[in-house]
Chains A and B, each alone.
Chain A
């Protein structure tokens, strides 16, 4: 069945056809889940956050003004839910203290070269993401994974465009420092 656009399904759902909300969930579940996962760093929590955000979106669907896209509106709900969730949690996620220096070798033994390289980079990015603050994680995800414009990110996060640029710059610097440090450790390990 062809997707008829967010607005069509929103109008149908607000008119009482609750089951059609599943089309909106199907359409946006992966991107919203990814955002929640990058911010909280755990699959279980990401699912909880995304479910909670979709429920909130459903309950306040009538207040959606259609000025911005549904995606941006939903992202704002997911972003705020995820940030609040991480801040309210008593303990941080059990992130690795150090990235294993021999991880690339382990992957090379079990996967082909391309897969191993992709897996290594993805794991290193996840490691670095867990070392920066939740706000920075959100900005990095929205900018690099979702490739949203500064206007859209500003609308989602509620921070001004100029402030966004400064924050993104800092977040990027933090990430690069962590990655470079781990890459150096890997090189030393191989020497």
Chain B
């Protein structure tokens, strides 16, 4: 009784005609293709972004590894290279030259503020440089 072959003559055959299917609306293929092209472009951009983000990541890993290596690996003497480096930094004795801005400005600003401004300027230039490097593909 459950044999589908026996359904051939059943009542539903009288009502269902396979030719009478609901067809996809006008412009269906075009809409799908637009979606697919968008999807493909998005995937390409994502791929490019992944490749780009790989550069700073690798750079960070290398820097971190070098720092660790510097601290842990022994130098020529008994101390590790890292410890020698830190003691060298500690022994550096220098002071920043004072910058006198009074000929330009009417009032005195603290010396450290001048250096902050210069640092910001240098960092901005450095940022522009990196940005130019990483966005070359565009």
A positions within 8 Å CB-CB of B: 18-19, 21-22, 25-26, 29-34, 37-38, 43, 46-47, 50-51, 54-55, 58-59, 118, 121-122, 124-125, 140, 143-147, 150, 165-166, 168-169, 172, 175-176, 179-180
Contact = CB atoms under 8 A, between A and B. Distances in A.
Contacts, number: 99
Contacts of A121: 14-15, 17
Interface of B: 1-4, 7, 10-18, 20-25, 28-29, 31-33, 35-37, 39-40
A55 B21 contact: no
Given A30-B24, A150-B4, A172-B10, 7 more contacts: A19-B33, A25-B28, A32-B24, A118-B20, A122-B15, A147-B18, A176-B12
Nearest to A122: B20
Question: Which has the most chain A C-beta neighbours within 10 Å: B3, B15, B33?
Answer: B15
Given A121-B15, A169-B1, A29 B7 contact: no
Contact of B16 (A21, A29, A145): A145
Given A25-B32, A165-B2, A46 B22 contact: yes
B36 A30 contact: no
Given A121-B14, A172-B12, A34 B7 contact: no
B20 to A, nearest CB: 6
